[in-house]
Amino acid sequence: MAYDTILFGMEGGIARLTLNRPDKLNSFNTQMHTEVRDALGRLAGSDARVLVLSGAGRGFCAGQDLSDRAVAPGSAGIDLGESIDKYYKPLVLSLHNLPLPVIAAVNGVAAGAGANIALACDIVIAAQSATFVQAFSKIGLLPDSGGTWTLPRLVGNARALGLTLLGNKLPAEQAAAWGMIWQCVADADLGTTVDALATTLAAAPTRGLAWTKAAIRASWQHSLAEQLDVERDAQRKLGRSADYAEGVAAFIGKRTPRFTGR
């Protein structure tokens, strides 16, 4: 499939998906949703071992393209729930459930759904000039794309309420200090930092990483005893994997492991 609103490619175990509507700050319209879904679907059965999600131009993603959702004052309004069910919910769940690490490389603004899509990724690295904005309160909405679930878990209720009720810009440095994202780096270093991390993860034991992210995400729903059972069951299966055998052999042999993700 030829893409018009995104760039997508795979090389050396690294898949790269770039939102590519820079004139609209990479805001989502129906076509972009369709193309992103197709690209993510291509990861299954591919050689990809890590996904990098980024935005073209001067911003990561400004969320929903509101020109697609305009309503006349005094009208009956619009059913935004249909858009959530059809587009944003599947997108966020896909990012959560991908059996490989997902890196968000955030430049410029990440606003509305764009901010929460970034936070749905496993590791977020932002340029120093980047900002995160829960812009929903400015247009009479509540955070979607998992924002009401993700934010309080990342920064606590007080900060989540402040961010969402006020809709203020949160600088990347503050986001990192609060533990909302993994790392804030100088603008000039964003590309090289993300590339180095993606290369590291592409050489890592992918199956073990996939089980790790799944276990951590599920832990919020479990008691300690239940989570210990999750860890037991996972270790039982991972202990029979080729990557575990290779990791132990490399450790004993004092050499660099060559993981295959199996």
**CB count in 10 Å sphere of residue 184:** 21
Please tell me the predicted confidence (pLDDT) of residue 67: 83
Task: Delimit the CATH 3.90.226.10 region(s) of the chain.
Answer: 6-202
Tell me which amino acid residue 191 is: G
User: Cβ neighbours of residue 75 under 8 Å, at least 6 residues apart?
Assistant: none
Q: For the residues 51-67, what does the mean pLDDT come to?
A: 96
What is the mean pLDDT of the segment spanning 140-158?
A: 96
Q: How many CB atoms lie within 10 A of CB 149?
A: 16
How many Cα atoms within 13 Å fall on the side-chain side of residue 65?
17
Q: Which residues of 33-42 are buried (b: 16+ CB within 10 A; e: fewer)?
A: bebbeebbee
Among 8, 141, 1, which residue's Cα sits nearest to residue 83? 141
Mean pLDDT (whole number) for 133-142: 95
- pLDDT: which is higher, 262 or 201: 201
Q: Please answer whether residues 137 and 113 qualify as being in contact, where contact means their C-beta atoms are separated by less than 8 angstroms.
A: no
pLDDT for position 68: 72
Beta bridge partners of 102: 51
Q: Which of 88, 192, 189 is nearest to 130 (CA)?
A: 189
pLDDT at 261: 84
Q: Note the pLDDT of residue 158.
A: 98
pLDDT of residue 74: 53
State residue 75's pLDDT score.
Answer: 53
User: How distant, in Å, are the alpha carbons of 100, 207, 215 from that of 212?
Assistant: 10, 9, 5
CATH, domain 206-253, list 1.10.12, 2.40.128, 2.60.40, 3.40.30: 1.10.12
Class of domain 6-202: alpha beta
Q: What is the tens place of the pLDDT at every residue in 29-51?
A: 999 999 999 999 999 989 999 99
- Alpha-carbon distance of 103 to 116, in angstroms, equals 13
Q: Provide the pLDDT for residue 92.
A: 97
Contacts of 106 (CB under 8 A, 6+ apart): 54, 55, 60, 118, 124, 125, 126, 127, 130, 132, 172, 181
Give yes or no for a contact between 16 and 55, defined as CB atoms under 8 angstroms apart: no
What confidence tier does 73 reach under pLDDT thresholds 50, 70, 90? low
Mean pLDDT of 189-213: 97
Mean pLDDT value of segment 178-183: 98
Q: Which residues contact 221 (CB under 8 A, 6 or more apart)?
A: none
Kindly list the strands in the beta sheet with 131-133, ordered across the sheet, starting from the edge strand earlier in the chain. 109-111, 131-133, 169-171
Q: Is the pLDDT score of 78 beyond 90?
A: no
Residues of the chain with CATH 1.10.12: 206-253
CB atoms within 10 A of CB 81: 10
